[in-house]
Amino acid sequence: MEKLHFLTAGIPSNAKDYSNAFDKLKEMNLDGLEVEFVHGVRYSEKTREAILNRNNALITHHGPYYINLNAKEEDKIEASIKRVLDTARAAKDLGAYSITYHAAFYLGDDSKILMDRMIERHKIITDTLKEENNNVWIRPETTGKKSQWGTLDEIIELSKNFEQILPCIDFAHIHARENGKFNTYDEFCYILEHLGNSLGDIALNNFHGHVAGIKYTDKGEKNHLIFEESDFNYKDLLKAMKKFNIKGALVCESPNIEIDTMILKEYYETL
Ligand SMILES: [Zn+2]
């Protein structure tokens, strides 16, 4: 990637639908959006046309919420694998840069046991995509709730096993699940340094991350907030991203969608 792109999570609130979403983003000097397949991977032909006519805007995909690669039942595991695959297939069809999803819940299982299982199930995903000539980036996301698999270390560890997999770093989730830590310049630098040292420059030059204001309890993430109403230190995050010369996509998931995304981009451009 040639630069850091600032994306809204879903279509901006002042757009009617995908037919004018990219025009609205352009008016606001934003770089693209994350297509939210949170309730299932489906889109109309009209949406498809609109997304394909996005000129040079960048898109990423968020996979369905109903994914648990550690489900107890075989059919639920298969359905979860299929949801990741379908998100990747949509990415190939629409030309998305990268896909992300919340991979699993612990359901009482130990992190070590789960790692083997996550590797095995992600191998099915990447082998299938290889057969389909689909090389979109596959990115399990760092998750916000302590019941969810997906600490920074777990996602990095998994990614080491696959050429096609890199982390989606959700900074707000890490901040929330670590009880308010990871909110200073040094801590953001630690995350990015760890990412680069573990996975190489490719991870810094092909980045996909999420950010938002966030409300949290001792169980981790509660809900997203706008920056103004949260303690999230987005300014130091952007300073750290600038220092590490991060290139790729940063998706803003604040509830005011385009407002916080513009705040991020405008601040970043002053650095
Ligand atoms: Zn997410």
pLDDT in tens, the chain (271 residues): 999 999 999 999 999 999 999 999 999 999 999 999 999 999 999 999 999 999 999 999 999 999 999 999 999 999 999 999 999 999 999 999 999 999 999 999 999 999 999 999 999 999 999 999 999 999 999 999 999 999 999 999 999 999 999 999 999 999 999 999 999 999 999 999 999 999 999 999 999 999 999 999 999 999 999 999 999 999 999 999 999 999 999 999 999 999 999 999 999 999 9
Q: Identify the H or E element spanning 24.
A: helix 18-27
Domain count, the chain: 1
The Å distance, Cα 141 to ligand 1 centre, comes to 6
Domain CATH for 103: 3.20.20.150
- The boundaries of the domain holding residue 130 are 4-270
The Å distance, Cα 204 to ligand 1 centre, comes to 20
φ, ψ of residue 196 to 5 degrees: the values are: -70, -40
The Å distance, Cα 257 to ligand 1 centre, comes to 14
- d(CA 139, CA 130) in angstroms, rounded, equals 16
Which residues are within 5 Å of ligand 1 (an ion), measured at CB? 141
Torsion from C-alpha of 255, 258, 262, 264, nearest 10 degrees:
40
The Å distance, Cα 33 to ligand 1 centre, comes to 14
Q: Residue 269: CB partners within 8 Å, gap ≥ 6?
A: none
Regarding pTM above 0.95, the answer is yes
